[in-house]
Structure formats: C-alpha cells, structure tokens
Amino acid sequence: MNQAAARESIVKVADWAAERGGGVLVTLGLGSCVAIMLHDPGAGAGAMAHVLLPSRSLSRDTSNPAKFPETAVPFLIERLSALGADPRRLVAKLAGGASMFAQLMTPGSLQMGERNIVAARGVLRAAGIPIAAEAVGGGSGRSLRFYVADGRVEVRSVGTDACVI
Amino acid sequence: MQDVRDLKALQIDALREVANIGAGHAATALSQMTNRRIMISVPQINIARLEEVPDLLGSPQDVVAAVLMHMLGDLTGRTLLLFPEAVGRRLCDMLLRRPLGTTSAYDTLEQSCIKEAGNILSGAYMNALSDFMGMLLLPSVPSLVVDVSAAVLTTTYLNFGHERDFVFCVETEFHIDAEEELHGHFLLLPDLASLKAIFDAIRLT
C-alpha cells in the first residue's frame, strides 16, 4: 500500500482525530451518527468528530466533547489551530445521519439521524464555517476515509460503489 | 431503578432465566422451520456505555442482516435478531428449500423470508415470556436492514431506546447444526421501566 495507508487513524463512535499532511481519518459504520469533518486546504490539515447525539441535554455524561456537535466543532477548531491551521480558512463536510429501520419509526417523529444533521449544520453556521459537501440521510450506513491533505472524503455503503465528496 | 448499573446479581440471574425460556422457545421454532438441531448459549446481560455499543457483538465492521421489532403491551422494548450476512443467506436457502449456497443476494423474496423468520422467532420468544409472566406482549411488524454491525447497533439504541448513557441488552447466541458454522444472536432490549415489570411479575423485588 501507499504511505497514506500507514497513517490511518480510526475514529470510533464519539471519538475524534486531527491530522496534518498524509494522514487519513477513517470511521466505520456510521448509522444515525454524523461525522463532522473540518479541513484547512491551505495547511493540508483536517479533523473529524463522530458525533452521537444532537444535544448535550440528552445525556447525563457530557464530559466527552466529541459526542455532541455543539462541543465537537469548537473542540476540532482548537485542535486544528494547534496543528497550524487557520480557523478562517476552514471548510466542513458532513456525512451520516441515516434512518435505518425507518418503517418502525413513529410517523411524524423526527428521528435521531435527522436531528444530528440539523444540529451539526446549525453549529457550523454559527461558527461561520461553510459546508462544502454532504452525504447525509438515506437508509444505509456509511464508512468514510477522509484524506486530510486535499480534503477528499471517500464514502462507502454496503452494496453500492464508493463515492467521493 | 434509575440506571442499569444498579441491577443486582440476583436480578441479572433472573433476567438470564427469563431470556433462557424465551430463547428456548425461539430455538424450537427455528429448529422446526429448518429441520435442524439448534443449540443456544447461556444468555448474557451486556451493559455498556452508548459509545461502546459497536463492540458489543462480534466485529463492528462485519455486515449483518438484522430484524428489528417493537415489543408492545405490558412490557415495552425491542427485539433484534442478528445474523452475519452470509448466515442470513444460508438461512434463506434452508427456508426456501434451495440447495445450500444458492442464495446470493437479498432481493424481495429473501428479505421477506428473513423478516418472516424474525417474526416467528420473536413471536415464539415473546409468547414464552408472556405465558411465563402472565403478561400481554404484542410484536410490531418486522423491519430488516443489511448493513455494517456498528451502524445497526448504534442506530437501534439511538433511534429507538430512551437511554443515552448506559444501555443494556439480554443476548442469546444460537448455533444451527450444519457442515459450516452458522450462528446468530437474539437480543431482547426491554425499556428500563419494563425491567421493574419483569421483576414484579416473577416476584423479585
């Protein structure tokens, strides 16, 4: 494999990672969770958080910043700044928020995937970070490979070909 | 009870026994459907942080066929039947009377077949619980997804559970007697409030 494969960081549920240069941030099996990815094209740096819940008010344990969009975005900006990125150059990509088993949802209720997407967009707008691309919603889980050098994200779902956003 | 971590050893034992009765009946149903011997494991009570859910069963990256159903009535919660993707196709072979190894994809007929199997197994499980505890339990329609295990498990808890910190499941593994290793998992996911109803029904307080 190439060098990029050697610098792969796996981002688990409610986890985060930040890299600069040839790194690849990988997350596997996003269901209704949302991956928020921030990229500074100038510095070739990127960070990813695998957020689980749309709001801190839904959880008693709020110690982990990567679990919620409202805490994950400021946290990622801080980590990227530490890596030499300029917060004013950041662009965002979002993926995930699928609604699996949709037929069992109470009709009319807003499901968690949708709430995660809305919350993530809201926090990014408040932080003034434009969203460059999204692969959200739908009924299938996603696995992502985020190449921090150029900001490219490979999105894979079971039974379909990979696409790049 | 505020938290699943407050469960006492005796209560966990009682839940295991309840699950064993349910899983025993589900295994009998599966055995009759496939005309094969089914073995079940001792039920496990898994308690985990929501973040750890993808690692609860097997490898989080494996593709699984999962049938989720709501449980309604005197107890509320969900049942989740999980097969590794290849095992689900073998089960289709058996139920649709095809030579083993023929089913290659989950088309309409195969999806319907797995959902029906889930329906019958969950029905047998809930029937046994309802007889044993003197309760009325009603299953919803089944819903199937074929996806990565991590996505299925987190979505099940996130979208349908009410607990956001610590979650739990009552899990029984079953093996189908065949040349190749065929196994699956049966998960009972009662809502926290329903645990009290279970303990009351079996006079354990």
Q: What's the pLDDT tens digit per position in A16-61?
A: 999 988 899 999 989 899 999 999 998 889 999 999 898 888 888 7
Residues in chain A with CB shorter than 8 Å from the CB of B141 are 103-104
| Secondary structure (H, E, C), B102-156 | CCCCCCHHHHHHHHHHHHHHHHHHHHHHHHHHCCCEEECCCEEEEEEHHHHHHHH
pLDDT at B13: 87
pLDDT, one tens digit per residue, over A59-114 is 887 888 889 999 999 999 999 999 888 889 999 999 999 988 888 887 767 788 89
List CB contacts of B139: < 8 A, sequence separation 6 or more: B69, B70, B71, B72, B79, B119, B122, B123, B126
Adjacent-strand bridge partners of A153: A146
Domains detected in chain B: 4-200 (3.40.1550.10)
| A163 has catalytic annotation | no
Report residue B71: phi and psi, to 5°: -110, 125
pLDDT of residue B67: 95
Nearest Cα residue in chain A from B153: A31
Q: Give the active site residue among A17, A25, A30, A33.
A: A33
User: For the residues A147-157, what does the mean pLDDT come to?
Assistant: 91
Answer whether B111 touches A (CB < 8 Å).
Answer: no
pLDDT at A4: 44
> What pLDDT, on a 0 to 100 scale, did the predictor assign at position B110?
93
Supply the DSSP symbol for B46.
E
CB spacing of A104 vs B143 below 8 angstroms? yes
Which pTM does this prediction carry? 0.87
User: How does DSSP classify residue B159?
Assistant: I
Q: What angle do CA B16, B18, B23 make, to 5 degrees?
A: 90
- pLDDT tens column, B150-195: 999 888 888 887 777 888 888 898 998 887 888 999 998 888 888 8
CB contact under 8 Å between A141 and B158, yes or no, is no
User: To which residue do tokens 């699956």 refer?
Assistant: B184
- Residue ranges with strand state E in chain B: 38-40, 44-49, 63-73, 77-84, 137-139, 143-148, 166-176, 182-190
Q: Which pLDDT score is estimated for A48?
A: 94
Residue of B nearest to A56 (CA): B164
Domains of chain A by residue range: 3-150
The CA distance from B101 to B97, in Å, is 11
Q: β-strands A152-156, B77-84: how paired?
A: unpaired
Q: Provide the token pair at A95.
A: 């993926």
CATH code: domain A3-150 is 3.30.1330.200
**CA A23, CA A4: separation in Å to the nearest integer?**
6
- The radius of gyration computed from the CA coordinates of chain B, to the nearest angstrom, equals 16
Cβ-Cβ contacts under 8 Å, A52 against chain B: 50-51, 154, 158
pLDDT band at B1 (very low <50, low <70, confident <90, very high): low
For residue B53, the chain A residue with the least C-alpha distance is A13
The minimum CA-CA distance between B62 and chain A, rounded to whole Å, is 9
Both tokens of residue B171?
């899990």
CA distance B133 to chain A (A): 26
| Residue A1 confidence class, pLDDT cut points 50, 70, 90 | very low
| Sole residue written with tokens 């060098």 | A3
Shortest Cα distance, chain A CAs vs residue B88, angstroms? 15
Q: What pLDDT does residue B203 have? A: 79
Q: A138: how many CB neighbours lie within 10 A of its CB?
A: 15
Question: In this structure, what are the phi and psi dihedrals at residue B8, rounded to the nearest 5 degrees?
Answer: -90, 165
